[in-house]
Amino acid sequence: MYDAVGGQAFFDQLVDRFYDGVADDPVLRPLYPEDLGPSRHRLAGFLAQYWGGPPYYSAERGHPRLRMRHAPFEIGGAERDAWMGHMRLSLAAAELPEEIHTAMLDYFESAATHLINKQPPAPPSDSRSLPIS
């Protein structure tokens, strides 16, 4: 897949478009450091490696361990949906062949959902319906 999409340049451009959206996103921006440069570099490297490129990400950072690396951040449905919104736009702008677009979109959907670590609050219980002993 790495070669089919044009190599590292494709992933750099995909990630740049993605982070251009994140930079002004009120839900996601607070989760990132002020300087988005290192985040851009890591995501582009990870994606390039995941999709068959050189293992530079692992050489720099070790095993990806996505859940562990994202554990310090509260990621709920809103964060996942905002992340996916920016990634969908970035991926659509790449104008990839349908089968490649679908494969990447399916991966992003799965990975983004896998990183959810904050559940929505439980609905309040109605104490009036509980029997009093």
Per-residue pLDDT of 11-50, as tens digits, reads: 999 999 999 999 999 999 999 999 999 999 999 999 999 9
The model's confidence at residue 127, banded by pLDDT at 50, 70 and 90, is: low
Residue ranges per domain, the chain?
A: 2-65+72-118
Cβ–Cβ < 8 Å for 55, 48: no
What does the alpha-carbon distance between residue 118 and residue 71 come to, in Å, rounded to a whole number?
10
The model's confidence at residue 132, banded by pLDDT at 50, 70 and 90, is: low
Q: What is the dihedral of CA 119, 31, 19, 115, to 10 degrees?
A: -30
Is the confidence at residue 129, as pLDDT, over 70? no
Query: pLDDT tens across 53-67, in order?
Result: 999 999 998 887 776
Is the confidence at residue 80, as pLDDT, over 80? yes
Kindly state the percentage of the chain with pLDDT values over 70: 89
Domain 2-65+72-118 sits in CATH at 1.10.490.10
Q: Can you say how many angstroms the Cα of residue 10 is from the centroid of all Cα atoms in its chain?
A: 17
The whole-chain average pLDDT of the chain stands at 90
What average pLDDT does the segment 70-91 reach?
A: 91
Kindly state the percentage of the chain with pLDDT values over 90: 74
3-state secondary structure of 54: coil
